[in-house]
Amino acid sequence: MDYQALQANFRRYIQLTDEEAQYFFSLLKPQKLKARRLLLDIGDPCLYFSLVTEGCLVNYYTDDNGFEHVLQFATTFWWTADLQSLMNGTPSMYTIKAVVDSEVLRLSRADMELLYQQIPKFERYFRIIFQNALMSHQTRIMQNIAYPAEERYRQFQQTYPHIEQLVPQKYIASYLGITPEFLSKIRRKMAKK
Amino acid sequence: MDYQALQANFRRYIQLTDEEAQYFFSLLKPQKLKARRLLLDIGDPCLYFSLVTEGCLVNYYTDDNGFEHVLQFATTFWWTADLQSLMNGTPSMYTIKAVVDSEVLRLSRADMELLYQQIPKFERYFRIIFQNALMSHQTRIMQNIAYPAEERYRQFQQTYPHIEQLVPQKYIASYLGITPEFLSKIRRKMAKK
DNA sequence: CGTCTATTTGAATGTACTCAAAAGCGGTGG
DNA sequence: CCACCGCTTTTGAGTACATTCAAATAGACG
């Protein structure tokens, strides 16, 4: 794990003294995950907010018919969790899986509260993180209800070109809210032009 | 405007001294809106984060074909804005309109920053507000991609019964990502049972 | 290699949309 | 107070976007 890069990333949001940064990093527990291993299984309570430092994870919901629907892809410097489960202690509705070999730094719910108390700047940090996440979720909702699948796929390609390279096509279909078969047909159609 | 009720609502998130509450309220500028009046017009920069104290507002995006798509309904104690525009100073992509006679308390972007500096507890307050908003947006995305329109409508009725009473059906259709005609047909079908 | 999973392809089907017209409903002015 | 106007909701027929199911092909990994 490259702590230099991580610290640089944090500086985009808040200014930490070396001491504060040390304390923060001391709360994070690294965990490596081979491709296709689970960070969180459906039904288990989500105990950690995890910061991806390498690789890529996918967070998905499994519906009553066993179909998977992708909530989020998380690459380097993204946080991931089942927030609902993490905050309420309820069983997780989502599965979090490593798409490729990955590494995360886990922050427990209790340490998160501790962090807020010890270094209130982190309230600001997460305020900004959640605010940004909220904005991108708003955009996603709008694209979903306002535009057809082909257009949504184009937008996805533009917005997350690195993710498209990394993850299986079926997950992208799932993220877009369509079947893998239909995404395949969209791609064929787009290639023809 | 009932400041008692408002203060009680804030106590769910943070504890404020009377002095702090006074200061906060002093930053808020009340504005009344008759039904169908705009709080924010598309193209204008969104200058305020607005807390609804009465009535109901709707926040919607207008697509290239002139169709409206509802991002959010905001009733009492809900905040509303075009966050993207508010944070970046860019022209607004959304329109915010009073559905019925309403009242809001506006907080300017500058006063918001001031508030964060004067009373850091508000970082926490908005951290929680955005966190909760994020969770409900996640749920909405999942329902949109995982379930058909009829099921989404049932969920909406369960989750927001008061909103269903208040706003025209066509806005609910729009929120669900379907046409008003189709929602009408869903309702007919549901009534038959 | 061989096995397992992902992707492609095509035909049939279904969910949701478009367009057009009628019916309902609420507000406003004479 | 009620008649009219504009907007919302309903209805139906035809269409389009997207799914389902099944089978073939392609890729990845041990």
The whole-angstrom separation of Cα B144 and Cα A101 is: 30
Helices (H) and strands (E) in chain B, counts: 9, 8
The whole-angstrom separation of Cα B51 and Cα B102 is: 11
Nucleotides of D under 7 A from a protein CB: 8-13, 17-22, 29
Q: Is A90 on the interface with B (CB under 8 A)?
A: no
Indicate if the pLDDT at residue B193 is higher than 80.
no
Other CB atoms within 10 Å distance of the CB of residue A191: 7
Mean per-residue pLDDT pooled into runs of 10, chain A (193 residues)? 89 96 97 96 97 97 95 98 98 97 97 98 98 98 98 98 96 98 98 78
Span B76-115, pLDDT tens digits: 999 999 999 999 999 999 999 999 999 999 999 999 999 9
Residue of A36, A74, A38 whose CA lies nearest to A55: A74
Distance from CA of A120 to the nearest CA of B (A): 8
In order of B24, B62, B63, B99, the CA distances from B42 in angstroms are 29, 8, 11, 17
The whole-angstrom separation of Cα B51 and Cα A158 is: 34
* Rounded distance in angstroms from the CA atom of residue A175 to the C1' atom of nucleotide C6: 16
Q: What angle do CA A86, B13, B176 make, to 5 degrees?
A: 65
Q: Is B154 on the interface with A (CB under 8 A)?
A: no
Distance from CA of A13 to the nearest CA of B (A): 13
Q: Is B69 on the interface with A (CB under 8 A)?
A: yes
Indicate if the pLDDT at residue B138 is higher than 70.
yes
Rounded CA Rg of chain A? 18
Distance from CA of B131 to the nearest CA of A (A): 6
Nucleotides of C under 7 A from a protein CB: 6-11, 15-20
Q: Which domains does chain A have, with CATH numbers?
A: 3-118 (2.60.120.10)
**Per-position DSSP letters for B82-114, written without gaps between them:** -HHHHHH-PBPSEEEEESSSEEEEEEEHHHHHH
Q: Name the strands in the sheet holding B94-98, side by side, starting at the edge strand that comes first in the sequence.
A: B38-40, B94-98, B56-62, B68-75
The whole-angstrom separation of Cα B69 and Cα B60 is: 5
Tokens of A183: 């995404």
Strand B29-33, strand B38-40: pairing: unpaired
